[in-house]
Amino acid sequence: MSDVSVDKVAGTAPRLALRGGTGRAYKLGRLIPWLVLIAAVGIWWFTGDTPEDILTYQEDIVYLGGQHIALVAYAGGLALITGIPAGMILSRPAFRRSSEIVLQVFNLGSTIPTLAIIALCMTALGIGTMPAVFGLWMATLLPIVRNTYTGLRNVPKMLIEAAQGMGMTPRQIFWRVEFPNALFVIFSGIRTALAICVGTAPLAFLIGAGGLGELIFTGIALDELPMLLAGVIPTALLAVLTDFIVGQLQYWLVPKGINPLR
Amino acid sequence: MIRLENLTKTFGAAGSGITAVDRVSFEVPEGEICVLLGPSGCGKTTTMKMINRLIEPTSGKVFIDGKDVTHIDPIQLRRSIGYVIQQIGLFPNKTVADNICVVPDLLGWDRKKSRTRAAELLEMVGLQPDTFMKRYPKELSGGQQQRVGVLRALAADAPVMLMDEPFGAIDPINREVIQDEFLRMQKTLRKTVIFVSHDLDEAVKMADKIAIFRAGRLEQFASPEHLLSNPATPFIETFLGTDRSLKLLRLVQVADAMLTPADTVRPEDPVAKARDLMEKSGHPAIIMSNGDGRPGGIILASRITGQGSCREAAEPVRATVPVKVDLRSAVALMFTHDMPVIPCVDEDGKLQGVLTYRSIVRSLANSKIAA
């Protein structure tokens, strides 16, 4: 998860280098994992009988996939509604001094492997969906908090000064100036966070929360490749789909004037 | 219109703190531009920010239109004062139109009315509303951004404007253009402007009054002419520089410095007459005027030889100077064309007077006495 902070920087960089070509290259780069994925699936599909074997798990895929999506939705949703306000609060002048310490604690927390977090959750909260959601929420939270905080802190001082001088109230400054100008960086955090969330969700199976992890881990245990793939392929597709949806939201919701993609 | 009374700001604990602004008092009449001038850290920006209460004064008062600003809600106060900052500070997430309409929107103006206003303002500075209303700040050049920054402060038609080095972040050529543009608008808008600058040339050009600051104190408050010709303290003299007389040239018009009526000779006059006139006036040259009132030639004392008419002795006039330009341009012309005496002409090219080095020196000396 240490690459989270790298992605945070990647999220801010195009903001600084806002010239025509960057956006297009960025978009092209986003397409590459898709193409690789499609090619990989294609090769599997047409060479051998694995596909039919995978499809025998169709019912399981649908049921466990539903569980998987629910896990991600709960944990991701929870991370959004807690992480964004937390980042906002930490960025306020009153918290300037304590915010770095808090974020250091978060950083430290993020060095603990997610598997360990999930195991700890089980120890503390027992097995089932609730501890799994809690563990995933913990793992998802940091990039959202970090990016919300950084995005808001990086809004140029002069914009705030101008807003103040023109008679905006602190609340108006926040909602009309600071938040919109931090939105691109915040979305980058959400994107990273949800990708982590989808990718980590299979671990939830280990503490009895179901999800596509059930097919993956059982597949590994039984050395059953089609079963393993029945878990892996939908997980991957889910990750790509989530990224695509958040990417589209980022593209259309971030105002054009500060959106390096448009 | 704007009056400061013993305005003081101390940062840090009382007694041990740093006094950024020390008992500053002055008054700016309605419709005038007052430039707060001084080296960085002299308290000029702090003084300005106390006017719209971005900084609360430690003691002293600010009155706008006779009203003590501490009795006005700071948010309402700031919305009633145009504000331009050095870094422009356009909101990158908003279009040009939305940026200009920030204050009207805060004041709850009808959207149609405020957008019409934005279009009018854009037209005033030569930016096509159809093209620019929907643009984002990043799609504008530096000069265009600067203009929009000024328009934003004008949008709600506040009678008072505070401008903190508004043209500081722009190249010298564009700065001149925008300064001229602002002065032209100011002629009709008649705003009361507090303008912070560290650039003496800008101050001399823009100001009706200049307030010179040094270490938090107001050193001198005077018109640019008065300041340049009568600096009150040695500090100001150093600050204005040894070339302050040259800066003063900018403030005097040719019409006020030229000799009139000018001694002239006619083409048919004998050279001797020209020599007599030059000896009497002490000028090194004399203008030969044609019958139609235009300058026809120049006769230099050093070149006169023997007899003949003025027509034969005259040399062509290499340059004339319009009476409406300032002395700085006139001197530049005189140097460029090596003309110790230059004819001053009106719009029709008719001779109105002559400018000599001596007349320039005398007019500068006069402004010193008068001021």
Tell me: the pLDDT tens digits for B237-260? 888 887 777 788 888 888 888 887
In angstroms, the CA A60 to CA A211 distance is 10
Whether residue A181 contacts residue A158, with contact meaning beta carbons closer than 8 Å, is answered with: no
Same domain flag for B200 and B281: no
pLDDT at B221 over 60: yes
Residue of B46, B78, B79, B91 for testing the chain A interface, max A β-carbons within 10 Å? B91
For strands B209-214 and B217-222, give the pairing: antiparallel
- Coil vs helix vs strand at B264: strand
Same domain flag for B131 and B265: no
Same domain flag for B237 and B292: no
Q: How far is CA A80 from the centre of its chain?
A: 10
Same domain flag for B114 and B58: yes
Other beta carbons less than 10 A from residue A258's beta carbon: 23
Ordered DSSP codes for B49-100: HHHTTSS--SEEEEEETTEEGGGS-HHHHHHTEEEE-TT----TTS-HHHHH
Does the CB of B93 have a partner CB in chain A at under 8 Å? yes
Residue A221 pLDDT: 92
Residue A28 pLDDT: 67
In angstroms, the CA A210 to CA A203 distance is 9
Same domain flag for B260 and B287: yes
User: How near does any CA of chain B get to the CA of A60, in Å?
Assistant: 47
Residue B59 pLDDT: 92
Residue from B1, B41, B33, B8 nearest B214 by CA? B41
Q: Do B136 and A168 touch (CB under 8 A)?
A: no
In angstroms, the CA B167 to CA A181 distance is 25
What is the average pLDDT across A249-253?
91
Domain topology for A20-258 = MetI-like fold (1.10.3720)
Residues 48..67 of B with a Cβ closer than 8 Å to A: which?
Answer: 52, 54
pLDDT at B28 over 90: yes
B249 domain-assigned: no
Cβ neighbours of A158 in B, within 8 Å: 85, 87-89
pLDDT at A21 over 60: no
Q: Residue B99 corresponds to which tokens in the numbers above?
A: 């940026």
Cβ neighbours of A177 in B, within 8 Å: 91, 93
Residue scoring higher pLDDT (B290 or A137): A137
- Coil vs helix vs strand at B221: strand
Place of tokens 């920087």: A9
Q: Residue A245 corresponds to which tokens in the numbers above?
A: 């949806």
Residue A104 pLDDT: 86
What is the average pLDDT across B173-188?
90
Of B78, B94, B138, the CB nearest to A167: B78
- Min mean pLDDT across B72-86, B153-167, B337-351 is at B337-351
pLDDT at A45 over 80: no
What is the value of pTM for the model shown?
0.76
- Coil vs helix vs strand at B215: coil
Cβ neighbours of B53 in A, within 8 Å: none
User: How near does any CA of chain B get to the CA of A80, in Å?
Assistant: 23
B248 domain-assigned: no
In angstroms, the CA B260 to CA B353 distance is 5
Residue B257 pLDDT: 83
Q: Residue B344 corresponds to which tokens in the numbers above?
A: 């001053």
B247 domain-assigned: no
Highest mean pLDDT among A104-108, B210-214, B309-313: B210-214
Domain count, chain B: 2
Note whether ipTM > 0.85 here: no
Residue of A157, A159, A166, A258 for testing the chain B interface, max B β-carbons within 10 Å? A166
| DSSP E strands, B294-360 | 295-300, 321-322, 341-345, 351-356
Whether residue A137 contacts residue A75, with contact meaning beta carbons closer than 8 Å, is answered with: yes
**Per-residue b/e over A60-90, b at no fewer than 16 CB within 10 Å?**
bbeebbebbbbbbebbbebbbeebbebbbeb
Backbone angles phi, psi at B16, to 5 degrees: -100, -5
Same domain flag for B50 and B146: yes
In angstroms, the CA A30 to CA A25 distance is 9
Band of pLDDT at residue A160, cut at 50, 70 and 90: very high
Q: Do A165 and B137 touch (CB under 8 A)?
A: no
Residue scoring higher pLDDT (A106 or B3): B3
- Min mean pLDDT across A161-165, B76-80, B311-315 is at B311-315
pLDDT at B271 over 60: yes
Q: Do A161 and B162 touch (CB under 8 A)?
A: no
Q: How far is CA B358 from the centre of its chain?
A: 26
pLDDT at A12 over 60: no
Whether residue A188 contacts residue A8, with contact meaning beta carbons closer than 8 Å, is answered with: yes
User: By CA distance, what is B81's nearest residue in A?
Assistant: A166
**Strand ranges across the sheet with B2-11:** B18-28, B2-11, B59-64, B67-68
Same domain flag for B136 and B175: yes
What is the average pLDDT across B274-284?
81
B12 domain-assigned: yes
Same domain flag for B285 and B218: no
Find all residues with CB under 8 Å of B330, minimum gap 6, and list them: B254, B257, B321, B342, B344, B355, B360
Same domain flag for B173 and B234: yes
Highest mean pLDDT among A105-114, B124-133, B270-279: B124-133
- Min mean pLDDT across B29-43, B83-97, B165-179 is at B165-179
Q: Do A159 and B76 touch (CB under 8 A)?
A: no
In angstroms, the CA B310 to CA B275 distance is 10
pLDDT digits (tens, 9 = 90+) for B71-122: 999 999 999 999 998 888 899 999 999 999 999 999 999 999 999 999 999 9
CATH number at residue B215: 3.40.50.300
Find all residues with CB under 8 Å of B103, minimum gap 6, and list them: A166, A167, B79, B82, B152, B155, B156, B158
Band of pLDDT at residue A189, cut at 50, 70 and 90: very high
pLDDT digits (tens, 9 = 90+) for A121-152: 888 888 888 889 998 998 888 899 999 999 99
What is the average pLDDT across B262-273?
81
Residue from A185, A192, A95 nearest A142 by CA? A192
* Domain range for B291: 254-370
Residue from A215, A173, A192, A176 nearest A54 by CA? A215
Question: Helices (H) and strands (E) in chain A — how many of each?
Answer: 12, 0
Mean pLDDT estimate for chain A? 83
pLDDT digits (tens, 9 = 90+) for B4-21: 999 999 988 766 778 899
Q: Do B78 and A258 touch (CB under 8 A)?
A: no
What is the average pLDDT across B147-168?
92
Band of pLDDT at residue B186, cut at 50, 70 and 90: very high
Same domain flag for B127 and B217: yes
B307 domain-assigned: yes
Band of pLDDT at residue B369, cut at 50, 70 and 90: low
Give the residues across from B287 on adjacent strands. Answer: B264, B298
Residue B14 pLDDT: 64
User: By CA distance, what is B93's nearest residue in A?
Assistant: A257
Indicate the residue among B180, B207, B242 that finishes a domain: B242
Does the CB of B191 have a partner CB in chain A at under 8 Å? no
For A239, how many CA atoms within 13 A lie in the half-sphere containing its CB? Answer: 19
Residue A199 pLDDT: 85
Other beta carbons less than 10 A from residue B185's beta carbon: 17
Backbone angles phi, psi at B170, to 5 degrees: -140, 155
User: By CA distance, what is B106's nearest residue in A?
Assistant: A168
pLDDT at A23 over 80: no
Band of pLDDT at residue B67, cut at 50, 70 and 90: very high
- Coil vs helix vs strand at B270: strand
Same domain flag for B117 and B214: yes
Mean pLDDT estimate for chain B? 88
Q: Residue A130 corresponds to which tokens in the numbers above?
A: 């609730």
Whether residue B181 contacts residue B125, with contact meaning beta carbons closer than 8 Å, is answered with: yes
CATH number at residue B316: 3.10.580.10
Band of pLDDT at residue B229, cut at 50, 70 and 90: confident
B93 domain-assigned: yes
Same domain flag for B217 and B263: no
